[in-house]
Structure 1
Amino acid sequence: MHATRLLPTAFAAFCLCAATAAIAQEAASLERVSIVGSRKTVSAASSIDTLVPVDIYSMSKVTEGGGQFDLAQTLQYLSPSFNSTRQTGADGADLIDSAALRGLGSDQTLVLVNGKRRHTVALVNLFGARNRGSTGTDMNSLPLLAIDNVQVLRDGAAAQYGSDAIAGVINIQLKKKAGCEAVTGYGQYSRGDGKNWLASAYCGVKLGDGTLGITGEWQDRGRSNRADPGDLRTIGDTQVKNKTIYLNGEFPIAGDNKLYVTAGAQDRDASSAAWARNGTDDIPSRNSAAMYPDGFVPYINGDVRDRYAILGWKSTFAGWDTDLSQTYGSNRMRYDISHTLNASIANKDLLSGGKGISPTSFDAGGFGFSQATTNFDVSRFFPDLLGGSNIAFGAEYRREKYDIVAGEPGSYIDADGVGFGGNAGSQGFPGFQPGDATNKSRNSQALYVDWEATLTPALTMDAAVRAEHYSDFGSTTTAKLAGSYKLSKDWLLRGAASTGFRAPSLQQLYFSSTITDFINQLPVDVVIAPSGSKLTTAAGVPALKQEKSKNLSVGFTVKPSIDTAVTADLYQINIKDRIVLSGRVDSSDPNLGPILQSLGVGQAQFFVNSVDTRTRGLDLTASTRAKLGAGALNTFLALNISHTAVTKVNVPGGLKIDQDTLLSTRERLFIEQGGPRAKATLGFEYSEGAWTGEAKVIYFGSQTHAGGYTGALLHYQPKASMDLGLNWQATPALKLSVGGNNVFNVKPTRQDPNETDNGFYYDAVQFGLNGASYFARAYYRF
């Protein structure tokens, strides 16, 4: 990485000193807290003294007066390492925002809640989506007001926490303090659409010597549309209605025994717009003149149900701290396609002497994923062992289940005959067929040990080893070694080396979908075939196995004064056997053609371990606070530069296809540049009396994608947006806030709409395509 490239990028950025200052103040009042990345409880929460880079974001300020109403977008504009861009025209990926760290896949970041594993969603990102072929965690299923802080570990941690922690770990710490608070908010885009309503309340109730925090949230976000006047399409944010409730508490029982509980549920009704069907060329293949003579836009409606619970018991036995817990999480999505038709049903009706009518809505089926995790963790600090040592060990058992449910027949049948008249299935999203239905499960067991020791007053080391066994692909062992050395009371050097892994998700192993596509006006059956199916076995596709990684990081921290701090960390992540969704294998292939024809399939796609990648990058943070006039000015700079390259494409020996078919340039660029290669935030917060003003500049680096029609390269230039906010502490209990996001209405680089994923000249890259928005909030503490 050349210094000439890093310096101007770093200079272009800047953001969030308030978060660091708030955390420092809050940490001082805590007796002992845990920071993700270490098994040791510490007396203060500081990212300056950690062995590996950890960012700690207090949610109090953004909850009380921020311009973002959900967690994914909040972190998008706080953490440079974090990327989450709302999609449009990407089927199910429009309904659940994917999120990732350091430009890697969304399934390569592990999410914890109160230090316990959070389940992933049932959705696999497929057509038109970034992170295609992967699944991830729905950050927006947790209400902002329930969150105390978010800890972002920017380092590989599979040896400490298990699968998925290749890019890092996000730990969401929920509140359990006494007192009540409530917030209401309203926002909309400058175009007048995307109206966003929020109402949320938290109350911490004392129960004996413990506290139970209860949070309820209601959010109603309207649809936005950036299509040109007269354009039939709907291009913009999904319509979302969320109803969420969360409980979190801890209760001393007797002596050192504590019972803790977390429980949450969210019901989400979401609706995204599919591609428009016109009233000319699409009749009768995808439309009916009797139903939509001027064309129509089908809507993909998702009924999402997310559940999460933790029940645990902390105790002390012979000087050892023990933690026994049971965690359960589930995510279910069912599709209902509305304002649509099955063109084959309409055409059959027309041929039978009717008007050419089809039902206008269909139950298209859906899928579900659940995860039950049992943990037993033991830890003890020995003050006289090697200058002070913390020894931890534990075990984990996890059971996962994945199922696909078929839709009603009308959502997938070809009523007038294959290759004749109307296309099969509901337009916009054909339903899952009975042959796609599945119900699979697996289990895993893990043992780990972790030893952190202060070998000298200046040198601290941590070593961790973890062994896991999965019932479906076997065993793996990972290790990590991290250390820090204090050059002086102000300077600290730190570094880490680790191996990691990510188990193939059940969604990748068993997702199955069959559609009838028309190529040169001829019907072709296209199957996404699950691992181990008759098709993949016949084609020589090997069974999926784990991805393996090697992580290296080195950096320093410096705190020249109580008001100023700087951290810088370089990192490299090598991943072997990354799982990708292949390109389509055509029946005309001289080797595979006979196999596909014997199975009655024209084209096929499948998941396969076939890509090695290398990611190199730099993380930089700098914060300072100072008196200015009668008030105080906080300033923060945060920067991430990340460069991912595909270093090797491995075509399995039994699979007779070329590299370009397995991984095209288009798919390669989605892996290498799924997020901007540089991202930075620069923020200023000035407080005087009851007033606080905030200005934040967010810099998004360039991206390059390949067009979907000719494959032409699409270059997206670096962009910067600005957020402004003003807070007034009207009374000790009441705070009022107003502000704007992306106030200069910046859009991504304009492209040829024939090449973009959504068929529009603005695509949903870097930070989205909606432009400026404005908001107002009222916060009240009881």
Structure 2
Amino acid sequence: MHATRLLPTALAAVTLFATASALAQEASNLERVTVIGSRKSLPAASSTDTLVPVDIYSMSKITEGGGQFDLAQTLQYLSPSFNSTRQTGADGADLIDSASLRGLGSDQTLVLVNGKRRHTVALVNLFGARNRGTTGTDMNSLPLLAIDNVQVLRDGAAAQYGSDAIAGVINIQLKKKQGCEAVAGFGQYSAGDGKNYLASAYCGVKIADGTLGVTGEWQDRGRSNRADPGDLRTIGDTQVKNKTVYLNGEFPLSTDNKLYLTAGAQNRDASSAAWSRGGVGSDDIPSRNSAAMYPDGFVPYINGDIEDRYVIVGWKSALAGWDTDLSQTYGSNKMRYNISHTLNASIANKDLLAGGKGISPTSFDAGGFGFSQATTNFDVSRFFPDLLGGSNIAFGAEYRREKYNIVAGEPGSYNDVDGLGFGGNAGSQGFPGFQPGDVTNRSRNSQALYADWEANLTQALTVDAAVRAEHYSDFGSSTTAKLAGSYKFNNAFLLRGAASTGFRAPSLQQLYFSSTITDFINLQPVDVVIAPNGSTLTNAAGVPALKQEKSTNFTVGFTVKPSQDTALTADLYQIKIKDRIVLSGRVDSSDPNLGPILQGLGVGQAQFFVNSVDTRTRGLDLTASTRSKLGAGSLNTFLALNLSRTTVTKIHVPSTLKIEPDVLLSERERLFIEEAGPRAKATLGFEYSQGAWTGEAKIIHFGSQTQGTFNVGEYLHYKPKTSMDLGMSWQATPALKFSLGGNNVFNVKPTRQDSGQTDNGFYYDSVQFGLNGASYFARAYYKF
């Protein structure tokens, strides 16, 4: 859709503006808020009054005394629809935790900060990762102390917010209140490792008539290791050191004008362990090791220097009774790899053949990648109290520019100096560097127009309709729509439902990622090339250009609020996705079309991204909460449940693609899609407060999960598991609070498996809730 094709939508928006202006009356001056999923800005309403399911999680108590030190793990044990499991043995995915909603891909959830689109990471999750083939948003790049609340919209919202909002939307609302607070925390696993140190402070400073909130955070998390004694490998959490600073403020310029600002930066030094290489007597010498360097074998370490930046600058105003919001958002994510405790076996072997000891450098700059996103938004809205019983009309435009680049590593990280297919393998062991042929620098832009009308047709009936048209410079156009409504039978009972279409644009990372990586299959190393769209290999295979995924979403449910202290919500949903982008199965050198190309590259297998799968996800979300008096104190109880099942309904091989369906998507890869997370997840929480003391118990249930093995027809079955978190807080003074507790206090672990068939080569895999076991924590919180 070029500019001329957007003209009808633009004219419709102008007509809507003019028509509504004729009906306008002056808006109320009441303090107003907006909950994600609605453009309406009115006095705050309960989530039981929303047209679609929205969970609102206040971060204050969690920040002061919670057992988790980052946002992804906090939501993992709070929101049943949310899944984020720390990976081990998954290369770059060990360094950045992926997150998703409702068992779909991490790139099918849109993340906002203060209602503005947040950029995704540059990383593509690959081997060993749960969300393989996808990108996502790094939830842990924001400090917990900077967050006021997190709103989780559990419904498709592409017509309202654009690409990626298929599974739902997460909006992270940052603080901008006056006053200061600080927290210091320590945690570790019961095994004695994974020591986690946290120091964070927030200060909201009055500037003129506004407030600027400043948050600084330092986190140092140590490595954990669950490998058996004598095992060279390191199986557990990545070592992470974060330094983060965030600013968030709003500054009134006049009665109807205000300037707002958000700016954040995080530098992360992370290090994960790769697969071990054998020593003298193993098949790894001379192919992957040198007897002179590591006679007993070794573990390479994949180190990542990650830089994340984010800026929002905006101006809110009022024009002829309309609220306007003009904003510019910029975000970037960069990752640079350095591989240590390693070698280039071809260099060592050449040295040995030349009469040397067989020595190679032990560390290499392996290159890296970066992604940036600049988004300009202009939003207009107004509430008309006398139009159809009360209507909110909103419309706007968006322009977004994205860039993606890959930088090559130093030659020793990828080259083969002793001869192709001879002696030592090329590149740094653990993670071969990006090659000059991988280098890319790509960009694209998109434009969008949207309109949204929410009306109270009667005192009981509320309806919202939204439409959005977008055009991408690299693949074309998409128009999506949404219709939602609720009927309030009385003050206690509300029926609600929604139907929508959605889409997700192929990410630049999926379009242009290119690399050669060593994977382990049945514990045996295989070099695998990931070929980008439009490359010699993918063109030879007949892989078509990537296009957008398309979705249809249906939600129906009800809410019950018999009193101010008790609430219940239940929502059924169905999400159908067509032309879902997946990372293909592996083509090997025996393929008659691609075999010669692979042999020329010196690799054993190849993969690529392709639109080839249709899926259907059905599920149920249930929440219930109540507050009551118990003895001299008060008891808060909360239950949340998600049941979800994703099914691959069709595998369609493009007519130009010369590959068999079972190769395009093997049974093992199909299960990674269908069971990316547990099919059931529930949280039951109890909080009892009396005087200065507060105790908390949280029971988290993770349903079963099934994964494929490297052998056709064999499976890994993970039984349902239930863990418990316990915590206690003491308000020592009005300003000072101490907290301590434990997570997974009964040391529950996933079902033990055959280590030769798991992704990480260990009998405990990173599924459901991870493999580290029990941990303990202590916190001190001070407000001043």
**TM bracket (short chain):** over 0.9
Is the alpha carbon distance of 1:523 and 1:194 closer, same or farther for their aligned partners in structure 2, counting shifts above 3 Å?
closer
CA distance in 2, matches of 1:595, 1:286: 23
Q: Comparing both chains, which one has the higher relative contact order based on Cα–Cα distances under 8 Å and sequence gaps of 6 or more?
A: 1
Report the counterpart of residue 673 of structure 2 in structure 1: 671
1:614 aligns with 2:631: no
Aligned-partner Cα distance in 2 for 1:229–1:521: 19
Q: How big is the shift at 1:44?
A: 1.5
Give the C-alpha shift of residue 657 in structure 1. Answer: 1.4
TM-score, structure 1 as length reference: 0.95
* Matching of residue 407 in structure 1 with residue 409 in structure 2: yes
Match of 2:41 in 1: 41
* Superposition map of 1:13-92 within 5 A: 31-92=31-92
Residues 698-745 of structure 1 show CA distances to partners (whole Å, capped at 9, x for unaligned) of 000000001235662000000000000000000000000000000000
Name the counterpart of 2:4: none
Aligned counterparts of 1:310 and 1:245: Cα–Cα separation in 2? 14
Matching residue of 2:162: 162
SS of 1:670's equivalent? helix
Partner SS state of residue 646, structure 1: strand
Which of these residues, 271, 290, 293, is aligned with residue 291 of structure 1? 293
Distance of 1:536 and 1:256 partners within structure 2: 55
- Which of these residues, 467, 477, 480, is aligned with residue 478 of structure 1? 480
Q: Is the aligned partner of 1:561 residue 2:559? A: no
Residue 533 (structure 2) aligns with = 531
Choose which of 541, 544, 566 in structure 2 pairs with 1:542. Answer: 544
Give the drift of 1:523. 11
Query: Structure 1 residues 520, 747: CA separation in 2 closer, same or farther (over 3 Å shift)?
Result: closer
Letter in 2 for 1:198: L
Distance 1:657 1:695, change over 3 A: same
Provide the C-alpha distance between the structure 2 equivalents of 1:632 and 1:42, rounded to a whole number of angstroms: 31
Give the 3-state SS of the residue equivalent to 2:673 in structure 1: helix
Alpha carbons of 1:771 and 1:597: their partners in 2 closer, same or farther (altered >3 Å)? closer
Deviations 1:143-163 (A, max 9, x none): 000000000000000000000
Q: Give the distance between the partners of 2:213 and 2:289, measured in 1 at CA.
A: 52
Q: Is the 8 A contact 1:298 1:427 kept in 2?
A: yes
Which of residues 311, 314, 321 is equivalent to 1:312? 314
Q: CA deviation at 1:42?
A: 2.4
Please report how far the alpha carbon of residue 600 of structure 1 lies from its aligned counterpart in structure 2 after TM superposition.
7.8
CA contact (8 A) 2:540 2:593 kept: no
Equivalent residue for 1:176?
Answer: 176
Alignment root-mean-square deviation, CA: 1.6
Structure 2: distance between partners of 1:524 and 1:348: 22
User: Match of 1:142, as an amino acid?
Assistant: L
Following the alignment from structure 2 to structure 1, what is the Cα–Cα distance between the partners of residues 432 and 602? 19
- 1:602/1:634 Cα in 2 relative to 1: closer, same or farther (>3 Å)? closer
Q: 1:777 to 1:519 in 2, by over 3 A?
A: closer
Shift of 1:352: 0.7
Map residues 583-594 of structure 1 onto 2, 5 A cutoff. 583-593=585-595
Q: In the TM superposition, what are the counterparts of 1:173-322 in structure 2 within 5 Å? A: 173-279=173-279, 280-281=281-282, 282-322=284-324
Determine if contact 1:404/1:437 at 8 Å carries over to the other structure.
Answer: yes
Equivalent residues of 2:764, 2:771 under 8 A apart: yes
* CA 1:516–1:217: 2 relative to 1, 3 Å: closer
Who is 1:730 aligned against? 732
Q: Which residues of 2 match residues 496-535 of structure 1 at below 5 A?
A: 496-515=498-517, 526-535=528-537
* Preserved CA contact (<8 Å) 2:114 2:174: yes
* CA-CA distance at 1:232 after TM superposition: 1.0
1:649 to partner: Cα distance: 0.3
Q: How do 1:582-731 residues align onto structure 2 when only pairs under 5 Å count?
A: 582-593=584-595, 603-708=605-710, 712-731=714-733
Contact kept, 8 Å, 1:535 with 1:599, in 2: the verdict is: no
Native 8 Å contact 1:711 1:755 kept in 2: no
Verify the 8 A CA contact 2:367 2:409 in the aligned structure 1: yes
Residues of 2 paired with 1:517 and 1:260: CA distance? 47
Instruction: Name 1:7's counterpart in structure 2.
Output: none
Q: Which amino acid aligns with 1:726?
A: M
Identical columns (%): 86
Q: 1:224·1:236 contact (CA, 8 Å) conserved in 2?
A: yes
Counterparts in 2 of 1:450 and 1:421: CA distance versus 1, 3 Å: same
The amino acid that maps onto 1:251 is F
The AA in structure 2 aligned to 1:200 is: S
1:22 paired residue number: none
| Per-residue deviation, residues 600-625 of structure 1 (Å, max 9, x unmatched) | 87532110000000000000000011
Range moving further from structure 2, 287-296 or 530-539: 530-539
CA contact (8 A) 1:699 1:721 kept: yes
Shift of 1:598: 8.0
What is the deviation of 1:41? 1.0
Instruction: State the match for 2:337 in structure 1.
Output: 335
For residue 581 of structure 2, what is the aligned residue in structure 1? 579
**Distance of aligned partners of 1:491 and 1:212 in 2 relative to their CA distance in 1, 3 Å threshold:** same
Larger displacement relative to structure 2 (701-710 or 212-221) = 701-710
Q: 1:520 to 1:384 in 2, by over 3 A?
A: closer
Say which SS state the counterpart of residue 47 (structure 2) adopts: coil
User: 1:521–1:347: structure 2 CA closer, same or farther, 3 Å change rule?
Assistant: farther
User: What SS does structure 2 have at the residue aligned with 1:756?
Assistant: coil
Tell me: CA distance 1:740–1:524, structure 2 relative to 1, closer, same or farther (3 Å): closer
- Mapped partners of 1:74, 1:128: distance in 2: 23
Q: Does the CA-based 8 Å contact 2:569-2:623 persist in structure 1? A: yes
Distance 1:486 1:424 in 2: 67
Distance of 1:522 and 1:290 partners within structure 2: 23
Q: 1: distance between equivalents of 2:524 and 2:744?
A: 46
Deviation at 1:534, TM superposition (A): 2.2
- Quick check: 1:418–1:523 contact (8 Å CA) kept in 2? no
Cα displacement (A) at 1:185: 0.2
Query: Matches of 2:656 and 2:589 in 1, distance apart?
Result: 17
Structure 2 contact 412–428 (Cα < 8 Å) conserved:
yes
CA distance in 1, matches of 2:691, 2:338: 52
Segment drifting more, 280-289 vs 269-278: 280-289
Matched-pair contact (CA < 8 Å) for 1:423–1:516: no
Alpha-carbon deviation of 1:517? 8.0
Task: Give the 3 Å change call, closer, same or farther, for CA 507–264 of structure 1 in structure 2.
Answer: same
Matches within 5 A, 1:64-143: 64-143=64-143
Task: Give 1:358-397 correspondences, 5 Å limit.
Answer: 358-397=360-399
Residues of 2 paired with 1:181 and 1:521: CA distance? 50
Does the aligned pair in 2 maintain the 1:498–1:552 contact within 8 Å?
yes
Distance apart, 1:514 and its partner CA: 2.8
Q: Distance in 2 between matches of 1:448 and 1:515?
A: 42
Q: CA deviation at 1:652?
A: 0.7
Q: Does the CA-based 8 Å contact 2:537-2:594 persist in structure 1?
A: no
Aligned equivalents of 2:759, 2:380: Cα separation in 1? 49
Partners of 2:595 and 2:177 in 1: CA distance: 64
Whole-angstrom distance in 2 between the partners of 1:435 and 1:736? 55
Q: 2:494 aligns with which of 492, 495, 500?
A: 492
Structure 2: where are the runs of 5+ without partners?
Answer: 1-29
Deviations 1:260-285 (A, max 9, x none): 00000000000000001111311111
| Misfit runs of 4+, over 6 Å | 516-525, 597-601
Runs (5+) with no aligned partner, structure 1: 1-29
Post-superposition Cα deviations, 1:97-140, rounded to whole Å, max 9, x if no partner, equal 00000000000000000000000000000011111000000000
* Structure 1 pair 517–158 and aligned structure 2 pair: CA distance change class (3 A): closer
Select the residue among 354, 358, 369 that pairs with 1:352: 354
Supply the distance in 2 between the matched residues of 1:677 and 1:251 (Cα, whole angstroms): 46
The equivalent of 1:145 in structure 2 is 145
Q: Equivalents in 2 of 1:515, 1:111: separation in Å?
A: 30
* 1:523–1:681 Cα change, 3 Å: closer
Name which of structure 1's ranges 588-597 and 487-496 shifts more when overlaid on structure 2.
588-597
Q: Aligned to 2:567, what secondary structure does the other structure show?
A: strand
